[in-house]
Each structure stands twice: as C-alpha cells, then as structure tokens.
Structure 1
Amino acid sequence: MRRRMFIYYFLHTIWSITSAVANSSGTSSIGRNGPYWDSFRHRTSPEAAKLCTVGTRQSPIDIPRSGNIQASFGALTFTNYDMVPSKYTLVNNGHTAKVSPVNTNPIAPLVNGGGLGSTFQFAQFHFHWGDESDVGSEHLIGGRAYPLEMHMVHFNTKYGSDLLGALGKGKGAFDTLAVFGVLFVVQESDNPVMDPIIKGLSSIKNASTETDIRGFPLYQLLPANEQSYYRYMGSLTTPLCNQIVIWTVYQVPVSISERQLEEFRSLQYGDESQPLVNTFRNSQPINGRIIMEVSSSPLAQISLSLFCFSLFLPFILTSFRH
C-alpha cells in the first residue's frame, strides 16, 4: 500500500507541475468574500504569500461530479474518535470559529488508512460560512456551494507530536497535514450534534474571544458514510497557502438549520459591528490534478496500480516512437 501511495503522490506532483500555472486571481478580494480575504493582508506580505497566486496545487477547488478517478483504498481507521474530552476551547480568531481540544487526556484521536500513507493526529476543527445559504463552503461539488463547511485538521505524526512541530519539521512536505472537509446542507430542524458549538458562539461574538464548551466524541461530526469521499492534493486555504495538505472532502453532507447558521453569521471581525461572514476562499484552478473518488461500494472500485500505469502509458509510447 505504501509503495502504491508513493507512486500516486509522485505522479500527482509531476502532473500538477506540468499543467498550466494557477491564475493570478488566487488572492482576489473581489466579491462577497472580499472583506474576509482582505483581513489577512495586515499579517502577510505579498512575497510571503506568493504561493497563493503562483501555486499549482491550491485549495479549495470545484470538484467535478463526473470524470474523477474511481479508486479503492483501505478503510479509513479512526482511533479514539469515540473518546469524550472534558471540554473544548471555542475561539473567534477574527477569521473563523475554531474548536480545539483541551489537552487533559493523553489519548489523542488518530486517523490512518484510506490511502493517507501515515498516521495523523487530530489538532482542531474550524468552519467557513456565508451571509446567505447559497454560499459559504470553500469546496464546491459540481459547481454547487454549501452554506457551511467544517475542516477537521490533522498533522502527520512522523513530523512531530503537535501541530506547530509538524509544520516546522515537515518543511513544506505534501503530506504534512490531512484535512477532512465536511459540507452542510440546510434542514428545518436543528442538528443536536452542533448544539455545544452553537451555544458557545454567543460567547465569542467579537474577535480574540474564547470560551469553553462541553466535550463530545469527534465521530459525531462525521457524515453517515465516512468511507465515501473525494481525495486530492492541495493547500491551506488561507495565507501562506502552503501546498502541504492531503484533502479528504466527504461526498455526503451533514445537516444544520437556518437558526444554527445565523449564530455563525452573528460573529464579528473585531469589536466593530462588521459581521464575520463569507469566510471562504474562491475556487482555485485544478491544473490537471488527479481527483480520486473513493466509495464504499465495490462496484466503484478499480486498481490504483492500473490507474498509475495508464498515466505512464503515453510517455512509454512516446519513448518507443523515438
């Protein structure tokens, strides 16, 4: 499995590099998310955030509904996702609402398998949302935006024992982070799983405020079928836009009510009354990247080795002609 994954990621990198360069609108502040993207300018220089405009593996993307590679990996294995921590810390950092575990339990939630190639430890999750329910998510599927997207951030344990350590030791490696994207759709009734978070939002209206919320098992945040997802190589969606993320975007959305969404929309950028909304980056060019569509259905599976060979075949034939 590790050898197959190395071949996949190697080919993925070569494919991206030889594709068209991303357009220069990656950091554009035009549109409904202009204030959100502009809020990063004070802390990053154009040179430091250069990848945001010239990177060829940028995120988020608009995931096509057809034409993806139907793939089969081993099952994603979630360890300690059923653990209930005593509490989480919920923070309004002026860009998003972020939830982090309070490190009172040495047993950390981990995920491996599913073609990740390593073991990743959970660090935090945060959200992206819009001012209305027609926008909000960072990833699109078939051109459709969702009102809310949650990112569950994990770091590769081979690079460190915490998030900052892994970011430092990883030194830009493509597999430094594994981020799981969960999309939300609107339903009439509240989602009770979201209750602790929704209740906590009222205490962090202004930027740089935080509160503690009661603990709950992380598995409750996962969609009904956690083995059906899209997989591609990408980047952080905020500056510095480092291309260090193995993205897993779930095919099956989770529900949330309009009332609960309004609590996210009531947050503010700072002490002022400007609402913290449209906290998403625009879709970035795919640039020929391989998008894997992984399903728990055996009818949707093919051999990754055969897929890799199909990519090499044009180069092999060309070499024979010469």
Structure 2
Amino acid sequence: MASALLLFAVLFLGTVDSNNLKRRKNGKDQWNECPNIEGFFSYDSNSPCGPQHWHKRYPLCGADKQSPINIDTDKTRCEDDGRVHYRHSGEVGGIFENNGRAPNFVVKKDHLRNILILGDDEDNDNGDNTGYVFKELHFHIGASGSSYGSEHTVNNQGYKGEIHMVHEKLKGGNNKKDTDDKKDKDDKNENGGQQDTLVLGRFFNVIEECCSYADKLISRYITKIPNYMDETEAHVKPSRMLPRDGKFYTYVGSSTTPVCKLDVLWTLFKTPTTVCETNFKVLMDLETWEAGNPPRSKFGNNRPIQRFDVGDVRTNFGKRCRDN
C-alpha cells in the first residue's frame, strides 16, 4: 500500500512539474515577475517581459510584417506619390507626459486639426482617404553604450535616436462608406496609403550645439517631466519636424510597442535632424516604469529589428525614381 501511494505521489508531482514547465515555456506565468502596471512591457533583454517575450502577452507582436525593419536601399522601388506635407498646419496644444515608455506628446481632442497629406493635391484631405490627423509625438533612444538608438536602420546602420509622429486616418467627410468599399480598402492596403495609422519617423544624430526643433521641445517641455508619470502642458507644430528635402522611405508594418498594431503605414525621412548633447542627456535621464524606476539610459526604448530582408520598401528619391 505504501509503495502504491509513493508511486502515485511521484506521478502526481511529475505531472504538476510538467504543467508548470509548460506554463513557463509559453510565458503564461512569466509576466507575474513584472511590475503590476496595466499594459506593462519591458525593454530589458534579460527580463521575462522583454522584447523577445512580448508576443506571449501581446500575440500581435508575433504576427507577420513586424516593425522596425532594416531598409536595404538596393531593394527599394519608386513611390508614385512623392510628397508628404501638412494642410491646416499649425501649433497644437496637448500634454507632454513621461509614461514610463517614452516622453510622449498627446494632442488634445479639440486640437486635432493638423492634417497630413500624401501626394501633391493640396485639397485632398477627404476624398480618397489620403488625409491623416496628427495625434502623438515621442522619442526612441538606445541604452547607454549601445551602438545606435534608432528603431529602424538603413543598410544596417542606425542613428542615435528616432522621433515618431503618429497619425490616424481622417473619419467622415467625403470618405467612402465602409459598407461600400471593404474589399476595395483591402486591395488598397496592399499598395500603401490606405492604412488607418500612419507614423512619420525622423532619425536624429547628437551634436554639441542645440539648434533643432527637437531641441526646442526637449528644452521647453521634456525637462519638466523627469519622473515617471510627470506631465506638462505643451504646444507642438509637427510641420517643423519635416525635413526640407522631403526625401523618405515608406512601407507597411506594425507599431513598435505592444499591442504591436498591424497594418501601419511607415514614412521614414532620409535626412536626419539633430539633438544636442545636453538635451540627449535629458532623454537618457528620464525615469522609466521598470522596477525601481531606473533611467532610460539603462535599457533604452528601441525595439530590436524584426525584419532584415524586406522587399516592399518604396522611396520618392534616387535613380529608380528619376528613370521613371
């Protein structure tokens, strides 16, 4: 009888251990080790909640066409609509917040009026779904000592950081009704320009002199939000972040933070801007939502490259476009 009970106990404990192992492998209980913050994720590569594990809590982070990517300029092709510009451009009010992930500017609802246009038609902000409204702006940088801090790379070369301006598709107006054009929208999504979310990306390098619009935003507002959950009233003019030459790369991918929203249209400007050394230190010193609130310099906030061999990146510059 005793032998039978001993055998049962061994088998039972073995089953429990096996089930626990399965849960650990698929990540179901790893997140219990992370800070108890809604929507939490980490940039710490050694954390059970780090970028390599995001898909275990946020399944879309493991889906196809993830961002960021490496742009291989030898594989790009020419973009038909070769211009990005703002209509109704002006300064908008909002809040600069330290949300623990990044210093993030959020436009107030009654200031959602800066309309980004794809293409050359100045008035085309409703008729064929090419208008996007500016909603957010935030900064990505690398950990202290990292070779680069941008999320995207070009020919396997990164920059010190990357600024993202998030836009959402205009709703209403003369846009086609969803009930009439669902199939048409699916077809257009394959060609770009019809996604619900568009992100403008601007790389930046670090120099000694403070002279860019990014420097103005950091000096005026981000210096006021050093601690996690700090916020301050702010005003931003997104058109000031666009380069004069207007050269860009564009492709369809995902958002680079959980929930890793799919079908995001990315437009990354070729020409970088700058951030001065003093203001870059401000970005590095910001508190994060990681356990103990260490500075951003400890882990950075740039997601690792998700795709290297991407064949559907388009540009509005270069020999291919001149030859067309």
TM-score by structure 1 length?
0.69
Greater alpha carbon shift after TM alignment, 233-242 vs 197-206:
197-206
RMSD: 3.4
Alignment of 1:143 with 2:164, yes or no, is no
- Partners in 1 of 2:143 and 2:105 — Cα distance? 21
**Counterpart among 121, 126, 138 of residue 133 in structure 2:** 121
Deviates more, 1:271-280 or 1:240-249: 271-280
Runs of at least 5 residues in structure 1 that lack an aligned partner in the other structure = 1-30, 161-169, 304-322
CA distance in 1 between partners of 2:270 and 2:286 (Å): 28
Distance 1:68 1:209, change over 3 A: same
Residue 276 of structure 2 corresponds to which residue in structure 1? 257
Q: 1:195 aligns with which of 207, 212, 216?
A: 216
Query: Quick one: which amino acid aligns to residue 93 of structure 1?
Result: N
Q: Deviation of residue 198 (structure 1)?
A: 2.8
Question: Unaligned stretches of 5+ in structure 2?
Answer: 1-41, 121-127, 174-181, 190-194
Misfit runs of 4+, over 6 Å: 39-42
Residue 96 of structure 1 deviates from its aligned partner by: 0.8
* Counterpart in the other structure of 1:49: 58
Contact 1:140 / 1:146 at 8 angstroms: preserved in 2? yes
Q: Is the 8 A contact 1:72 1:301 kept in 2?
A: no
Secondary structure of the residue aligned to 1:66 is: helix
2: CA distance between counterparts of 1:159 and 1:240?
26
Which residue of the other structure, out of 56, 59, 66, is the alignment partner of 2:74?
66
**Structure 1 letter corresponding to 2:229:** S
Larger radius of gyration: 2
What is residue 318 of structure 1 aligned with on the other side? none
* 1:111 alignment partner in structure 2: 116
Shift of 1:192: 4.4
Report percent identity of matched pairs: 24
Q: Cα distance 1:157–1:216, how it changes in 2: closer, same or farther (>3 A)?
A: closer
What amino acid is aligned across from residue 90 of structure 1 in structure 2?
F
Q: Distance in 1 between matches of 2:199 and 2:116?
A: 11
Displacement of 1:77: 3.3
Deviation at 1:103, TM superposition (A): 4.1
**Conserved in 1, the CA contact under 8 Å of 2:85 and 2:118?**
yes
1:292 maps to: 314
Verify the 8 A CA contact 2:83 2:316 in the aligned structure 1.
no
Aligned-residue offset at 1:242: 2.0
TM-aligned CA deviation for residue 117 of structure 1: 5.2
